[in-house]
Chains A and B, each alone.
Chain A
């Protein structure tokens, strides 16, 4: 009986931990994609400045596509990635808090605060960078 309860508790903790790790990995994957997109955008701008049409790889097939359209497509993708990463980061905090709660650790203080704006940080910097 006792063993069963412990097992159940441990499963719960492990699940929560796995959740956190999966979330982290997802952020990494999305950031890889974001960086690849960024590289592509740079390449379009600098290396293929003169070309009208470019070859884009979809899956394992290269398709010739108008440059302007490609650019727009990647930019849209980029925006979506940014949003997704932001959401994941927010979710990560909740998940981490849940994990801490399950493990009986105190909740992290101050992480649900909204950040100060740049101007405010600058004003108060002397204090922070003691």
Chain B
């Protein structure tokens, strides 16, 4: 049985049916690398950015091997050059077993939690602990239940339970407690049941297929299962992966385990964290747990301020630390919370610890490819000329703007009952929706007629 358990993979816990909306990066399936880590030009939704993708691939391999826990990576580049896409690609390629936590830099600002608390929670969400649960169970199909009631009507009942698998059959003597729980579960001949050896808990798995014809009139909720194989007394081993944060939450006494579901967990005392750390390292020493350093991705990292950066510096040194991936689109700018200028808005001492991956603007051919992929993702048919026009728009304004036009043009096209988006549709939405540069052009021309205009105000620092 252990082998059967082992060969059939542990069912995925996160398997919840959900309707996937078409997000900005929903077309990304991985980093698009081949086995030798060489990037393919177009693969898994990724286009171009060969050098950065290769770099990300190297880091991915190291994460998988568990080599670079406690290190940090910065993805830097202009807006719309695929920084988030690369991070998403890493997340997809890591699979479900490695924890990946994504957050935006501004998420840490909350009234309920201090900034460092929010950061430490994010850190601990990104560290997985693998543990194993082992139970001895008796699993079989009920052949017969025989219960002897004492003639006097009172007194202990005794009985016999016959269970079988495809290989064997045996008779168990039943005590009064067992009889009670069997009748409570309404177990009858033909049911497939498991009995937990340690607790004596009985659970019904369903009815055996061989007995399917016994009763024609059966409720829809009756489940049919195969008669179990192999030995009757089995050992069931299940491996779970939980994050450190989840363990923190159940152990944080003021909150109780319900906090996990309400979403708002509040602050967790540092003593609780220390206790958990101690327990987990004790488990690790006893061979009861494996630590899986995951990935924490902080987008728009320039939104963090000085306090957070120094916290990061410290947190990366801890022995329970995930791989930190950050992304920013800023150049040399002011560090938040100070008056100092620094590259990427990140203090030099933190920058020194980072591996930096740069992304570069897409070429025309790449833009064309990305637009094509997005069209497929959003289920919009694009004619050849319209594609060329859209690529042009993407080059001259921004890739994001061009992507926005896809679905809007698709709508216009559907309205005139066309099957394929034509140049006219693109033109129409181009005139309806302004891009960033045309909008600011418009502002400059008509700023006098807007309210509260102060021409002397300095422009926003986005350099």
| Interface of chain A, main secondary structure | helix
Nearest A residue (CB) for B287: A114
Known contacts A20-B3, A89-B235, A126-B257, A113 near B132 by CB under 8 Å: yes
Residue in B2, B13, B260, B286 whose beta carbon sits within 8 Å of that of A89 in the complex: B2
Q: What distance in Å separates the Cβ of A53 from its nearest Cβ neighbour in chain B?
A: 22
Q: Can you name the residue of chain B whose Cβ is closest to the Cβ of A23? A: B3
Which residues of B in the span 1-43 have a Cβ within 8 Å of any Cβ on A? 1-4, 6-7, 13
- Judge whether B168 and A109 touch: CB under 8 Å: no
Decide if A113 touches B198 in the complex (CB within 8 Å): no
Cβ–Cβ contact B242 & A42, under 8 A: no
Chain B residues contacting A108 (CB-CB under 8 Å) are 6
**CB nearest neighbor in B for A113:** B132
User: What is the CA–CA distance of A127 and B238 in the complex, to the nearest angstrom?
Assistant: 13
Query: Are A114 and B239 in contact, CB atoms less than 8 angstroms apart?
Result: no
Task: Give the residues in chain B near A96, CB-CB below 8 Å.
Answer: 3, 6-7
Minimum Cβ distance to chain A for residue B260 (Å): 7
Whether the pair B288, A42 counts as a contact (CB closer than 8 A) is no
Check: B134 CB closer than 8 A to any chain A CB: yes
In Å, the complex CA distance between A38 and B169 comes to: 12
Bound Cα distance A111, B235 (Å): 13
Which of A31, A116, A118, A126 makes the CB contact (< 8 A) with B233? A31
Interface pair B233/A111, CB less than 8 Å apart: no
Contact pattern, A 85-120, Cβ under 8 Å of B = 1, otherwise 0 = 000010011001000000000001111111110101
Docked Cα-Cα span, A63 to B231, in Å, equals 30
A34 / chain B contacts, CB cutoff of 8 Å:
233
Distance of A127 Cα from B245 Cα, bound (Å): 11
Q: Is B290 a contact partner of A110 (Cβ separation < 8 A)?
A: yes
Using A42-B173, A110-B239, A127-B250 as known contacts, say yes or no to A116 and B132 having CB atoms under 8 A apart. yes
In Å, the complex CA distance between A115 and B132 comes to 5
Q: Is the CB of A130 within 8 A of B13?
A: yes
Q: How far is the CA of A24 from the CA of B5 in the complex (A)?
A: 12
Q: In the complex, what's the smallest C-beta–C-beta distance from B127 to chain A, in angstroms?
A: 14
Beta-carbon contacts under 8 Å, B391-413 to A: none
B86 lies within 8 A of chain A by Cβ: no
Q: A96-B7, A108-B6 are in contact. Are A126 and B239 (CB under 8 A)?
A: no
Whole-angstrom distance from the CB of A16 to the nearest CB of chain B? 12
| Distance of B292 from chain A, by nearest CB (Å) | 9
Distance (whole angstroms) from the CB of B344 to the closest CB of chain A: 36
In the complex, what's the smallest C-beta–C-beta distance from B130 to chain A, in angstroms? 5
Shortest distance between the CB of B237 and any CB in chain A (Å): 7
* CB nearest to A123 among chain B residues: B250
Q: Is the CB of B231 within 8 A of A113?
A: no
Q: How large is the interface on B (under 10, 10 to 19, 20 to 34, 35 or more residues)?
A: 35 or more
Q: Which residues of A contact B246 (CB under 8 A)?
A: 127
A10 sits at the interface (CB 8 A) = no
Question: Closest residue of chain A to B138, judged by CB?
Answer: A35
Query: With A35-B170, A126-B250 in contact, do A114 and B130 touch (Cβ < 8 Å)?
Result: no
* Residues from chain A with Cβ under 8 Å of B97 in the complex: 109
Q: Is the C-beta of B71 less than 8 angstroms from some C-beta in chain A? A: no
Whether B230 lies near A111 (C-beta < 8 A) is: no
Give residues of chain A (1-37) contacting chain B, Cβ–Cβ below 8 Å: 20, 23-24, 27-28, 30-32, 34-36
- A127 contacts B130, CB within 8 Å? no
Knowing A96-B6, A127-B247 are in contact, say whether A113-B235 is a contact too (CB < 8 A).
Answer: no
CB within 8 A of A46: which of B133, B170, B173, B198? B173
Asked whether A36 and B170 contact (CB < 8 A) given A92-B3, A128-B240, the answer is: yes
B260 touches A110 (CB 8 A): no
B232 at the interface (CB under 8 A from A): yes
B51 at the interface (CB under 8 A from A): no
The 9 closest A-B pairs by CB, nearest first: A31-B231, A115-B134, A110-B239, A35-B170, A113-B132, A126-B257, A32-B168, A114-B287, A110-B130
Known: A39-B170, A110-B131, A126-B257. 9 other contacts (CB 8 A): A27-B231, A35-B168, A35-B233, A36-B170, A113-B132, A114-B286, A115-B237, A116-B288, A130-B13
Which residues of B are at the interface with A, using a C-beta cutoff of 8 A?
1-4, 6-7, 13, 97, 130-134, 167-168, 170-171, 173, 198, 230-233, 235, 237-240, 242, 246-247, 250, 257, 260, 283, 286-290
**Could you give 7 example pairs across A and B, Cβ below 8 Å?**
A32-B231, A109-B97, A109-B239, A116-B134, A121-B133, A126-B257, A127-B240
